[in-house]
Amino acid sequence: MTRNKLVAGLIFWYIESMRKTTKNTSYAVIFTPAEEGGYTATVPALPGCISEGDTFEEAQRNISEAIELYIDIVRPKTKKSKLADFVIAPVSVGA
């Protein structure tokens, strides 16, 4: 086996193992247009988790990174903690 094939195989194995261990979690994010332009993004389920961006897309990228950092810093690694005592969900009413 050539070195390149071995390296490619190891990279493939690493990516596959990360896929199996990585959990995706979705959070509701509130995007508010900022007075000076751009958007401010807040995550109600993660108190104090806030970011901004000059465009909506930049605000989305920035808040995704902020959420990851928030979780890494605030949530203990050894146990799952409840970060919020509420749920945001859509409700439909008839008119």
Q: Hey, which bits of 1-95 come out as E strands?
A: 30-33, 39-42, 50-53
Domains in the chain: boundaries: 24-77
Confidence (pLDDT) at 78? 45
Amino acid at 18: M
66-69: Cβ within 8 A, 24+ apart? 66/41, 67/27, 67/43
CATH class of 24-77: alpha beta
pTM over 0.95: no
> pLDDT tens-digit profile of 22-80?
567 788 899 999 999 999 999 988 889 999 999 999 999 999 999 999 988 886 654 55
Confidence (pLDDT) at 67? 92
Q: CB of 83 within 8 A of CB of 45? A: yes
